[in-house]
Amino acid sequence: AQSVTQLGSHVSVSEGALVLLRCNYSSSVPPYLFWYVQYPNQGLQLLLKYTSAATLVKGINGFEAEFKKSETSFHLTKPSAHMSDAAEYFCAVSQTGANNLFFGTGTRLTVIP
Amino acid sequence: DTEVTQTPKHLVMGMTNKKSLKCEQHMGHRAMYWYKQKAKKPPELMFVYSYEKLSINESVPSRFSPECPNSSLLNLHLHALQPEDSALYLCASSQGTPGYGYTFGSGTRLTVV
């Protein structure tokens, strides 16, 4: 069965600093991996996805993530944090043949001015 | 149209009431989903409809009754809910294959009194 683990329920960074949100997956077969962002009282917005086409995936709002099979990781990064990046971030996984999406527990990103 | 529209945005209902949540998409997606999200928690899958047929029911109590009248609409009928059912209810749609990710609506904030 597939699952994802997000290390750190809360991450704080200064404005302009590097953002690094961690996600590790557990899957017996190559997974599809996603990062979603959720602003307060809103739905989830897809930031980026890994579908085996390329290991470095670029998404919206300057975010990117790198799929590392040897580390079973799919960490989300952004070179320079902006105040508008403050939100909840969810890593998620699905697999070939499975029509559902499993979410990690989420990481709340705080950006300090 | 690249949106999933959910109505109402907020709903307060008593434990003896009957109400319905509505979800609509016009992206031609063939799979639609209901998720429940409690505060500070990740979304939890409730139901999956694929080609207008219920394909997954994650052991949801019968006081929640989904309905998919056509490929664009998804309803969630609510009856005799409990206060612990208060949550954000999210609808999502997808092309039905795992690699594309889901498009989420902004949710209905439900409060049961």
CB A91 within 8 A of CB B43: no
Give the number of A-B residue pairs with CB atoms closer than 8 Å: 63
A32 touches chain B (CB under 8 A): yes
Chain A interface mutation, best of B11, B24, B36, B104, highest count of A Cβ atoms under 10 Å: B104
pLDDT-based confidence at residue A31 (cuts at 50, 70, 90): confident
Q: How many angstroms separate the CA of residue B41 from the nearest CA in chain A? A: 6
Residue in this structure with the two tokens 């092309």, named with its chain if needed: B95
**Chain A residues near residue B31 by CB distance under 8 angstroms:** 99
Distance from CA of B18 to the nearest CA of A (A): 24
Give the residue on A whose Cα is nearest the Cα of B95. A99
* CA A62 – CA A113 distance, rounded (Å): 19
Average pLDDT over residues A21-40: 89
Residue A27 above 80 pLDDT?
no
Query: Which of A86, A77, A93 is CA-nearest to residue A24?
Result: A93
Q: Which two three-digit tokens encode residue A25?
A: 């997956």
Whether A43 has its CB under 8 Å from any CB of chain B: the answer is yes
pLDDT digit string, tens, across residues B44-68: 999 999 999 998 888 899 999 999 9
Q: Contact B56/A49, CB-based, under 8 Å?
A: no
Q: Which pair of structure tokens corresponds to residue B44?
A: 């939890």
Whether A94 and B98 lie within 8 Å, measured CB to CB: yes
Backbone angles phi, psi at A110, to 5 degrees: -110, 135
B53 CB-contact burial (10 Å; exposed 0-12 / middle 13-18 / buried 19+)? exposed
With an 8 Å Cβ cutoff, is B95 touching chain A? no
Instruction: State residue A1's pLDDT score.
Output: 66
Using the predicted structure, report yes or no on whether residue A51 has a pLDDT greater than 70: yes
Reply yes or no on whether the pLDDT at B100 is more than 90: no
Handedness of CA A50, B34, A23, A90 (dihedral sign): positive
Pure H helices in chain A: none
- Could you say which of B88, B96, B99 has the minimum Cβ distance to residue A32? B99
3-state DSSP helix/strand/coil % of chain B, to nearest 5: 5, 55, 40
B113 CB-contact burial (10 Å; exposed 0-12 / middle 13-18 / buried 19+):
exposed
